[in-house]
């Protein structure tokens, strides 16, 4: 009898969509990488544009040292919890050379990066995943904690 009354509740909980928070992008708030990538305004299927794309934000994360590619001006920042969520930072061509020393000083430190969110479709053999970038146009937009 108890099982019968609990079963509908368990089914409802199992089938309910997970709640995602909508972030207030474009303001002075600083969000963790995980918060940005799991927010309801950064959800899009391949071929679609997420609501967060084109918005300015500040992302807080761990600088992934091995990801620094000076020749193409890209690196990644990750969340602090198991480094599961990563956001690719894309640098404007005018500031690529100026950041080498700054990033060397920031190795192993938490950093805050201000930029414009963008998106792209990452296609693999069997799937497609909508990924996000953070475009940076000024070296002052990258700071240590």
Are the CB atoms for 30 and 60 separated by under 8 Å? yes
Question: What single DSSP character describes residue 112?
Answer: E
What pTM value is reported for the model?
0.78
d(CA 41, CA 36) in angstroms, rounded, equals 8
Give burial (CB, 10 Å; 0-12/13-18/19+) of 137. Answer: middle
Measured between alpha carbons, how far is 3 from 12 in angstroms, rounded to an integer?
Answer: 14
Residue with tokens 């807080």: 60
Q: How many CB atoms lie within 10 A of CB 96?
A: 16
**pLDDT higher than threshold 70 for residue 40:** yes
> What pLDDT is stored for residue 22 in this prediction?
64
pLDDT, greater one: 3 or 116 = 116
Let me know if domain 21-144 sits in CATH 3.30.70.270. Answer: no
Q: What is the pLDDT of residue 11?
A: 37
Q: What percent of the chain has pLDDT over 90?
A: 52
pLDDT tens track for 83-106: 789 999 999 988 888 888 888 888
Q: Provide mean pLDDT across the span 115-140.
A: 93
Give the chain's mean pLDDT. 82
């Amino acid at each position: 009898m108890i099982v019968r009354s609990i079963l509908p509740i368990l089914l409802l909980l199992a089938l309910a969509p997970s709640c995602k928070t909508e972030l207030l992008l474009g303001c002075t708030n600083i969000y963790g990488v995980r918060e940005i990538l799991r927010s309801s305004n950064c959800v899009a299927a391949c071929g679609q544009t997420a609501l967060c794309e084109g918005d300015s934000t500040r992302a807080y994360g761990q600088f992934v040292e091995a990801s620094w590619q000076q020749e193409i001006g890209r690196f990644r920042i990750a969340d602090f919890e198991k480094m599961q969520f990563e956001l690719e930072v894309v640098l404007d061509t005018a500031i690529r050379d100026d950041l080498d020393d700054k990033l060397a000083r920031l190795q192993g430190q938490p950093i805050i990066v201000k930029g414009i969110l963008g998106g792209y479709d990452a296609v693999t053999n069997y799937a497609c995943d909508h990924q996000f970038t953070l475009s940076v146009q000024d070296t002052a937009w990258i700071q240590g904690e």
